[in-house]
Amino acid sequence: MWNHTEVTRQLKIQYPIIQAPMAGSTTPELVSAVSNGGGLGSIGAGYYSPEKLAEDIRNTKAITDQPFSVNLFVPEYNEVTSTQIDRMKEILTPYYEEFNIEPDMPTIDKDDTFDQLVQIIIDENIKICSFTFGIPDPVTVKKLKKAGVTLIGCATTVDEAILNEQAGMDMVVAQGFEAGGHRGSFVQTALRSSVGTMSLVPQIKDKVTIPVIAAGGIMDGRGLYAGLKLGADAAQMGTAFLTTKESAAPKIHKEAILNSTEADTVLTRSFSGKYARGIRNRFIDEMDWHQEDILPYPFQNQMTKKIRSKAAAEGKSDILHLWSGQSVRLSRDVEAGELLMDIVNQVNKILRNENYHK
């Protein structure tokens, strides 16, 4: 059977389909719908407080008894000067004024939130944890492994995949250039890399022994099956689930994806300080003039956060971060469970055709 792979066996799920942990857009309803349907739902806890994560886990457990994962952002500590902050404040002033709000001032984010989130994962007996923006420190890896947690890393180049394996990750997501939202790159030489999924998956597969999860541009049964044949043991899909009924993405975000075409997305650092793929809009275009002044993550993210919340609330899609992958024409406005079953049925149909033509 096509649906039994190393990933489904290790994660104890039925189908090799992982809902990408889209920080800010997952809900207990989305995560449980995917897990109840036989895939792996993922809580995108990248921006969560410990309280919010505990609450989301409890609410998810209340509506599924199937495995689901939690995704964390590996913290990093960049420096900024007050001059840099003042300059960005000046650049963003037209947007603060447009929404009649006070500027967000960035805080130095050096706290123990990450450690607290890890402890909640252990305490709540979550058995799958994935990471974005790097590899956690060895103490954290050891602690999670001791608690029996399966660890999933993310790579945008072969070197990053090898580093994930060496650090003890049990599986690695091969995130192709087509993927929506933040790129998971964490090695200096990979930050400007742009390797497509078709190219990345087999090259990573040849250099690691841990299972590979294909991501980037995959939205349906054709993409899932292609990913498996490239050497992956599962496919991770974000944009496909972002437009489902259960996703927390604002209506204007879903509509933008449903009405876009394949060449409408670009990479931008302007929202968060890290490269992410989204649908090009006025904010991205206007900020293009200020690329030298973009603050490193998480400072840029903090300074644009209030602007984006207001943009979402007031339906201004020209200012909102419209994260999206490149396969937007395949997006659908359906329930997550229906999407999942359609993907499974599409693969079954491909297999039936194969046998028919033999």
Location of structure tokens 């994660």? 11
Site string for its own copies, 321-350 (x = CB under 8 A): ----xxx-xx-------------------x
Phi-psi region of 343 (alpha: psi -120 to 50; beta: other; left: phi over 0): alpha
Contact between residue 202 and residue 231 where contact means Cβ atoms under 8 Å apart: yes
- Which residues, in sequence order, are CB contacts of 340 under 8 Å at separation 6+? 15, 17, 33, 34, 37, 38, 39
Q: Which of residues 263-322 bind its own copies (CB under 8 A)?
A: 263
Binding flag, residue 218, its own copies (CB under 8 A): yes
Residues 33-72 touching its own copies, rule: CB under 8 A, are: none
Sole binder of its own copies in the list 131, 133, 177, 186 (CB under 8 A): 177
**Under rule CB under 8 A, residue 200 binds its own copies:** yes
Residue 175 in the binding site for its own copies (CB under 8 A) = no
CB of 114 to its own copies, least distance (A): 28
Give 248 or 351: the residue with its C-beta nearer to its own copies. Answer: 351
Q: Is 158 in the site for its own copies (CB under 8 A)?
A: yes
Nearest to 5 by CA among 246, 249, 227: 227
Q: Min. distance of Cβ 28 from its own copies in angstroms? A: 30
Among 33, 120, 152, 195, binds its own copies (CB under 8 A): 195
**To the nearest whole angstrom, how small is the minimum distance from the Cβ of residue 138 to its own copies?**
26
Residue choice 220, 273, 310, 344 for contact with its own copies (CB under 8 A): 220
CB count in 10 Å sphere of residue 110 = 8
Could you say whether residue 231 binds its own copies (CB under 8 A)? Answer: yes
CB 327 within 8 A of CB 198: no
Nearest to 241 by CA among 336, 338, 346: 336
Stretch that binds its own copies, among 88-96, 143-151, 176-184, 281-289 (CB under 8 A): 176-184
Q: Is 249 in the site for its own copies (CB under 8 A)?
A: no
User: Site size for its own copies, by CB under 8 A?
Assistant: 49
Q: Which stretch binds its own copies (CB under 8 A): 26-34, 121-129, 142-150, 213-221?
A: 213-221
- 104: helix, coil or strand? coil
Of 151 and 214, nearer to its own copies (C-beta) is: 214
Exposed, middle or buried by CB within 10 Å (0-12, 13-18, 19+), for 295?
A: buried
Asked if 128 and 68 touch (Cβ cutoff 8 Å), the reply is yes
Percent helix, percent strand, percent coil in the chain, to nearest 5: 45, 15, 40
For 221-253, give one letter per residue: b (16+ CB within 10 A) or e.
bebbbbbbebbbbbbbbbbbbbbbebbebbebb
**Contact indicator for 250, 152 with CB cutoff of 8 Å:** no
Amino acid at residue number 330: L
Contact set for its own copies, span 122-151 (CB under 8 A): none
Which lies closer to its own copies via its Cβ, residue 77 or residue 356?
356
Contact positions vs its own copies (CB under 8 A)? 1-2, 4, 157-159, 176-178, 189-190, 193-200, 202-203, 206-207, 216-220, 222-223, 225-227, 229-231, 261-263, 325-327, 329-330, 350-351, 354, 357-358
